[in-house]
Amino acid sequence: MIIKLIPLVLLSIVGCAGRDNKNAVPASLVPSIVPGTIHPTEKTQINLAKSIVKWKGTKLMGAGSHSGTVKFKSGHLLFSNGQLAGGQFEVDMTSIYNTDIPLSDPVPRKNITFHLNSDFETNQYPTSRFIITGVQKRDGVFTIEGTLIIKGIENKITFKAVKSSDNVYSAEFSFNRFDWEIGENGTWLEKKLVDPLIHLNVIIQT
């Protein structure tokens, strides 16, 4: 099943955030989430080979951008009477990969990879997590509430997701990297050049 996310996992992924991504809706930070009364009865592991997080970051208010992927390390969905009720996912932050710079340009690719690993401090925080704490469905659209953990920092967020087939969920949303202190160790110029939003397109398949 696929769940597209915009604020990661996770993940989390920096480089830029774009005005041209009209499908990306900022995930809402929520002060608290009241657990639902549904008790899941079925646990389904996600297909790690077919599930993926696509990221995009921008700079100078969308004038430039970088994009790529990051892989899931583990994950499962919870169901109650056949309906999505919860889940938990772990993203391998060391798998951050750039897709917009050609393989024929090794130096820029090396630089962006170093930059991303530095911003996410992957040596100290090699994984990010998302835990679903609430699910509501209306007119075929899911409202997902949960806790996004990046660099050990927890924030509760909410975003929309859809089911595109029997075993695929997807979600697109964006999150403000500063809420997770992503790129906080960069220079003043780097902080100003790189836009605050990170856009995610998360696909979860079982």
Provide the pLDDT for residue 41: 78
Provide the pLDDT for residue 97: 97
Provide the pLDDT for residue 194: 86
SS (H, E, C) the chain: CCCCCCCCECECCCCCCCCCCCCCEECEECCCCCCCCCCCCEEEECCCCCCEEEEEEEECCCCEEEEEEEEEEEEEEEEECCEEEEEEEEEEEEEEEECCCCCCCHHHHHHHHHHHHHHCCCCCCCEEEEEEEEEEEECCEEEEEEEEEECCEEEEEEEEEEEEECCEEEEEEEEEHHHHCCCCCCCHHHHHHEEEEEEEEEEEEC
Q: Model-level pTM?
A: 0.80
Write out pLDDT tens, residues 23-42: 456 675 554 444 444 566 79
Domains and CATH numbers, the chain: 25-205 (2.40.128.110)
pLDDT(168) > 90: yes
Write out pLDDT tens, residues 47-96: 999 999 999 999 876 778 999 999 999 999 999 999 999 999 999 999 99
